[in-house]
A and B are shown apart, each in its own frame.
Chain A
Amino acid sequence: MSAAGGGAPPPDPRRLAKSAYGAWKLFLKWVPKTVTRLRPDQEEQVVIRACAQHGKHLATHGIQQTSLDAFKLVCWLGGSWLDMLDREKDVEECRQITQGLLSTLRLILARETEWNLAVPPSTMKLLASFIEQEWRGNTEHGIWMNGLYAAFHLGATSWFEGKELKKVVM
């Protein structure tokens, strides 16, 4: 993962889109089977909302996407899905989808950092509780997708930077 530095060549758009599709399929794969299957029109809405959010995020922060930022996209996909649930009736669905979301982010982080960063179960539970509180409107004790993304992005980029720093100063 590269954290900074403009001027990088643009990625192959087909490869980028297919990797984004892979991130969506990976997330769905890790959502527990007990969650009600998305109808095609619902799936379309989740993807549209997530892609729109992703595009706006890149434009707002002036970010050039050199490869897929899988952490960010998966967060937007999860947030878009959770936003479509009924706050009164779908609490258990919220928990299950959150579990799939966090499991997916955890897998990507472990792979991205060559097993050096592994989110422990206790932190997974804490993050899940943060997300549920935000979803319920208790924002003082919650976290939503930009914050969740930042947590995983910070971990991955800091691990890479620490690895490079060690080469220089040790």
Chain B
Amino acid sequence: MEATMTLERFTQLWTALVTDRQPASEDASCTLTNGVSEDTIDALLKAADDDFSDFEEIQAKFDKRDAAVK
């Protein structure tokens, strides 16, 4: 299935509902940080441009393995 929503619209929603709600870094309650590695972020940025090759490569190996262990 392909997204019909554009990056521009997604960014508007993300900014309003996530970025603008985020606690300030100087906030004392902000003791946790999280997020995936830059390597995975790079692969997700490619996915945003419809290049899923990094994940397709992983899936192909999973498919092979899953068929063997089922």
Contact = CB atoms under 8 A, between A and B. Distances in A.
Interface SS of chain A: helix
B52 to A, nearest CB: 6
Contact of B3 (A14, A24, A58, A103): A24
Interface string A109-149: 01110000010110000000000000000000000000000
Interface in B16-70: 16-23, 25, 27, 29-41, 43-50, 52, 54-55, 58-59, 62, 65-66, 69-70
Contact of B41 (A37, A52, A68, A71): A68
A63 B59 contact: no
A5 to B, nearest CB: 6
A58 B59 CA distance: 30
Given A17-B14, A68-B35, A70-B40, A103 B5 contact: no
Interface residues of B, number: 53
Contacts of A112: 36-37, 39-40
A13 B18 CA distance: 11
Given A23-B47, A67-B41, A71-B36, A17 B30 contact: no
B14 A59 contact: no
Which 5 A-B residue pairings sit nearest by Cβ, starting from the closest? A67-B35, A22-B44, A22-B48, A62-B29, A22-B47
Given A3-B32, A66-B34, A111-B39, 7 more contacts: A3-B33, A13-B19, A22-B45, A62-B23, A62-B27, A70-B35, A72-B34
Interface of A: 1-11, 13-26, 28-31, 33, 35, 37-38, 40, 43-44, 47-48, 51-52, 54-56, 58-59, 61-72, 103, 106-108, 110-112, 118, 120-121, 153, 156
